[in-house]
Amino acid sequence: MVENVKNLIRASMVRAGAAIQPNKNIWIFSSVDNRKFNYNSRYLFEYVKEHLSEIHPRYVINDREEREKLKNQYGEEYFIESETKEGIRQVLEGGVWFTSAGLPVYGPGLLKNRIIVNLWHGVPLKKIALMENQSSILQRLYFKWIFSGNYSDILTTSDQLIPIMAESFGVEREKIKVWGQPRNDLLFQRKDREELIRELYGTKMAIQHLILYAPTYREFGGTVLFPFDDMDYEVLTDFLKRNQIMLLIRYHLEEQDNQCLEGEWIRTVNEDKAADIMEVLSAFDMVITDYSSIYIDFLLMERPLLFLPYDKEEYLKKRGMNFSYDEVTPGPKPATMKDFMKEMKKLLEDSSYYQEERHRMNGFFNQIQRPCAGIICEKIKKEMRNET
């Protein structure tokens, strides 16, 4: 919040000092705290850079070390900052802004002569933004003043989500557009599982199945990875080995001190291995989670899902969800390690097990079932033409 206020003050000074006419051929991209090269902003930026020669994309990265690294990788001209007057001026020159979290610069009235698109970063399975259970009145007022009034479009993946997104962001339903998520374009390109193992761990292994376990972050306490009274790592490892199943666990950064007995068949795939899980998600044969909306992205491939909601009542009470959990989670929910192994094996061997439920939920959450980055760009260019 403090950094956002500083940004607002600096941006207000730049805006007051000179009239800047936005250029519709300059597209600005940003993500979390203007420090992350991730989420939908990253993948739409990469698409624009490669496919729209008439557009000048600029990505806001205020982490100097990360910015220099990205300049070396993509090119000097593509990365800017928003912490100095010159950096803010460059941002304000953009006639189109895309963000996945926050804004590249802060202030009211930024939408004038500009298109500002909130790509967001997932399906709102849990309550978000203004609908979060623990948001204060001050936070809500700040959010509506800085964010809600500045968005021209907010993207989502299904007509079913329009009322939820509109209420979450405090905007009219007409501003919610079912255009999809550019990050999901990667799911339509299957990554080889054994090649991924070599890339991540420098080892060659013959495996039959690769499973991702991605528990969600709990603000109120740590995650119990295997919440079974009969949990036995030796038995689980033996099961994985016999069935040639590799289990990769992805913690949130805040929980990387959790205990996990890593070995040949159980490993971690945190940000040090894969900065963005979407880059590798298509290699997995199954996803295990509790409340993470990653499973909704994974539904696009209609592959098996398994859920471990061991603290469902506590989590739902504190975090809040937009749907009835059991109705929208198409997969078994084992309560013992014995059943956990049994359900994994059945899901991997029987393609019809929970298939109908997965198909139904995919249609409910994922109306856009094809690469969408190019379509989003065309729709934005059409909006630009309509404004001139």
Arithmetic mean of pLDDT, 81-105: 95
C-alpha dihedral sign at 102, 277, 305, 214: negative
User: What confidence score (pLDDT) does residue 259 get?
Assistant: 55
pLDDT over 70, % of the chain: 96
Question: How would you label 127-149 residue by residue, b for 16+ Cβ within 10 Å and e otherwise?
Answer: bbbbbeeeeeeeeeebbeebbbe
User: What confidence score (pLDDT) does residue 258 get?
Assistant: 53
Q: Is the pLDDT of residue 256 over 60?
A: no
Determine the Cα–Cα distance for residues 345 and 350; give it in Å rounded to an integer: 8
What is the pTM assigned to this prediction? 0.92
Determine the Cα–Cα distance for residues 2 and 10; give it in Å rounded to an integer: 13
Determine the Cα–Cα distance for residues 227 and 306; give it in Å rounded to an integer: 14
Q: Is the pLDDT of residue 179 over 90?
A: yes
Q: Is the pLDDT of residue 285 over 70?
A: yes
Torsion of CA 278, 282, 284, 289, to 10 degrees: 40
Q: How many residues does the chain have?
A: 388
Determine the Cα–Cα distance for residues 28 and 57; give it in Å rounded to an integer: 6
Arithmetic mean of pLDDT, 253-269: 74
**pLDDT-based confidence at residue 329 (cuts at 50, 70, 90):** very high
Q: What is the mean pLDDT of the chain?
A: 92
Q: Is the pLDDT of residue 44 over 90?
A: yes
Give the tens place of pLDDT for each residue, 200-242: 999 999 899 999 999 998 877 788 999 999 999 999 999 999 9
Arithmetic mean of pLDDT, 358-374: 98
Instruction: Residue 121: count other Cβ atoms within 10 Å of its Cβ.
Output: 18
Residue 58 has which token pair?
Answer: 């600029």
Give the tens place of pLDDT for each residue, 115-172: 999 999 999 999 998 887 666 777 778 888 889 999 999 999 999 999 999 999 999 9
User: What confidence score (pLDDT) does residue 134 get?
Assistant: 65
Give the tens place of pLDDT for each residue, 272-281: 888 899 999 9
**pLDDT-based confidence at residue 94 (cuts at 50, 70, 90):** very high
- Among residues 186, 157, 181, the alpha carbon closest in space to that of 284 is found at 186
Question: Cβ(105)–Cβ(81) under 8 Å?
Answer: no
Question: Cβ(372)–Cβ(180) under 8 Å?
Answer: yes
User: What confidence score (pLDDT) does residue 218 get?
Assistant: 84
Distant-in-sequence contacts of 106-113, Cβ < 8 A, 24+ apart: 106/4, 106/5, 106/7, 106/8, 106/11, 106/146, 107/8, 107/11, 107/12, 107/15, 107/146, 108/145, 108/146, 108/149, 108/150, 109/149, 109/150, 110/150, 111/149, 111/150, 111/151, 111/152, 113/21, 113/22
Q: Is the pLDDT of residue 345 over 90?
A: yes
Arithmetic mean of pLDDT, 329-344: 98
* DSSP per-residue codes, 246-267: EEEE---GGGTTS-----SSEE
Tokens 């003043």 belong to residue: 145
Give the tens place of pLDDT for each residue, 5-29: 777 777 777 787 777 899 999 999 9
Q: Is the pLDDT of residue 254 over 80?
A: no
Lowest mean pLDDT among 80-94, 227-241, 248-262, 286-300: 248-262
Question: Cβ(330)–Cβ(365) under 8 Å?
Answer: no
User: What confidence score (pLDDT) does residue 212 get?
Assistant: 98
